[in-house]
């Protein structure tokens, strides 16, 4: 039995394929009329001219098979009979339709428990993979979390103001009072590592808490996730990303790359046009946030009247100060179970951050602190590997040497 398993599966797939062709072809006939030239089945069948008959022959019956309970030879016979019968039915139906004898009748297809059980199992697997939807969070808890973030003082003020505005507009709506259309699409500008993605994810949770978004998830993408290499493909690719983001926030990093290249083979504008339409059509349950360097984002928004009219909220993310980056490093140490050995280690960390952060693009603010922390852990591991015995305190301590070598 096992030695013919692949052959059985192949024949089962052939049946599924022919059933799908039959359904799609009938749909096409309904939409666009008779198809004069149609290729069905294998190449041998396609190259064989079928004789026309004056009268419609009876539609042959189809022998179903019921799992793998019979012998191998019997099962193979039933599968082949089902496949041949399905092909004959399809040809007879098309012959009748092309002769103008009436609409194509519905013909019952065989009930195949093996395939049905496989389809049902696939559906159950899909359900398992879908994450359970989390309930909206309390807005006061979210505000407390926001003010617990290191730095971002101006961003905190703007987010607080936005929360207050949306809350009041929601209350007016509940009381039956007129409210302006909420335009919550935003532009985040600033250098890398200044918290833009973190705040975008936070805003998706805020909007779900306020009842603006149904899911409150974040879909993050960039030019490569929206633009394809051939005409017509970019719109499809962009729509697929938009579909995933419905109910949440679509965050497009380095969005300026969609419009700053130009050329006949660049399809970034096609992605922008598709995005603009979705921002209007799906505005009740989709928020788009675009992000990038400050000057480049200004050019991006001003490059298209549609962009300028839809993005009317701007948030500038300033670079972190040295003290704030020290705080971020301390936070990572606390969460991961590490501590700086002494004042010498802390001073070495301060000098390292001061020097590295002068290269804003290369260091990357909080991103640079994270990378520095991870390299310090690697240096600590190399140092401890030479110890004969390692204590718990050793495992938790980062020294001046670890920081300087990182």
Which pLDDT does position 361 carry in this prediction? 72
Q: How confident is the model at residue 182 (pLDDT cuts 50, 70, 90)?
A: confident
Per DSSP, what are the bridge partners of residue 290?
Answer: 187, 252
Which pLDDT does position 150 carry in this prediction? 95
Note whether 312 and 327 are same-domain residues.
no
Which domain CATH number covers 191?
3.40.50.300
> For residues 301 and 291, is the Cβ–Cβ distance under 8 A?
no
Q: Rounded distance, CA 200 to CA 188, Å?
A: 9
Which pLDDT does position 93 carry in this prediction? 55
Give the model confidence (pLDDT) of 304-348 as tens digits: 899 999 998 999 999 999 999 999 999 999 999 999 999 999 999
- Model pTM score: 0.66
Measure Cα distances from 367 to 320, 358, 371, 406 in Å: 11, 14, 6, 15
Range of the domain at 353: 322-405
With a cut of 70, say whether residue 285 has pLDDT above it. yes
Note whether 195 and 274 are same-domain residues.
yes
The answer to whether position 134 is within a domain reads no
> For residues 207 and 192, is the Cβ–Cβ distance under 8 A?
no
Which domain CATH number covers 363?
1.10.8.60
With a cut of 70, say whether residue 358 has pLDDT above it. yes
Q: Rounded distance, CA 102 to CA 312, Å?
A: 58
In this structure, the dihedral spanned by the alpha carbons of residues 137, 138, 139 and 145, taken in order and rounded to 10 degrees, is: -80
Give the model confidence (pLDDT) of 92-108 as tens digits: 655 555 555 444 444 45
Three-state SS for 249? strand
Note whether 293 and 341 are same-domain residues.
no
> For residues 241 and 221, is the Cβ–Cβ distance under 8 A?
yes
Note whether 170 and 125 are same-domain residues.
no
């Amino acid at each position: 039995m096992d030695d013919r398993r692949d052959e059985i599966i192949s024949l089962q797939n052939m049946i599924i394929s022919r059933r799908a062709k039959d359904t799609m072809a009938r749909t096409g006939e309904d939409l666009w009329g008779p198809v004069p030239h149609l290729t069905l089945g294998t190449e041998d069948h396609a190259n064989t001219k079928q004789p026309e008959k004056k009268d419609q022959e009876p539609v042959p019956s189809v022998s179903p098979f019921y799992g793998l309970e019979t012998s191998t030879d019997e099962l193979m016979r039933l599968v082949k009979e089902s496949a041949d019968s399905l092909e004959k039915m399809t040809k007879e139906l098309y012959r009748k339709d092309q002769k103008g004898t009436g609409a194509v009748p519905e013909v019952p297809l065989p009930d195949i428990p093996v395939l049905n059980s496989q389809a049902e199992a696939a559906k159950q697997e899909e359900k398992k993979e879908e994450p359970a939807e989390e309930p909206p969070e309390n807005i006061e808890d979210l505000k407390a979390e926001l003010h617990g973030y290191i730095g971002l003082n101006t961003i905190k003020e703007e987010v607080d103001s936005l929360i207050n505005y949306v809350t009041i507009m929601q209350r007016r709506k509940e009381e039956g009072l007129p409210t302006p259309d909420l335009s919550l699409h935003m532009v985040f500008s600033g250098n890398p590592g200044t918290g833009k993605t973190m705040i975008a994810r936070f805003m998706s949770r805020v909007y779900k808490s306020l009842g603006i978004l149904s899911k409150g998830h974040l879909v993050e993408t960039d030019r490569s996730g929206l633009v394809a290499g051939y005409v017509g493909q970019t719109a499809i690719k962009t729509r697929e990303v938009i579909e995933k983001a419905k109910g949440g926030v679509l965050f497009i990093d380095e969005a300026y790359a969609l419009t700053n290249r130009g050329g006949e083979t660049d399809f970034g504008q096609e992605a922008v046009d598709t995005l603009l339409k979705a921002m209007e059509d799906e505005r009740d349950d989709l928020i788009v946030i675009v992000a990038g360097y400050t000057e480049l984002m200004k050019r991006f928004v001003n490059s298209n009247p549609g962009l300028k009219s839809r993005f009317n909220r701007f948030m500038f993310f300033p670079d972190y100060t040295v003290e704030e980056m020290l705080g971020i490093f301390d936070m990572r140490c606390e969460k991961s179970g590490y501590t700086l050995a002494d004042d010498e280690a802390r001073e070495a960390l301060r000098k390292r951050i001061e020097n590295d952060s002068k290269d804003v693009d290369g260091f990357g603010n909080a991103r640079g602190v994270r990378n520095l922390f991870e390299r310090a852990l690697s240096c600590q591991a190399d140092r401890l590997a030479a110890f004969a015995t390692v204590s718990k305190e050793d495992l938790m301590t980062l020294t001046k040497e670890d920081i300087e070598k990182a």
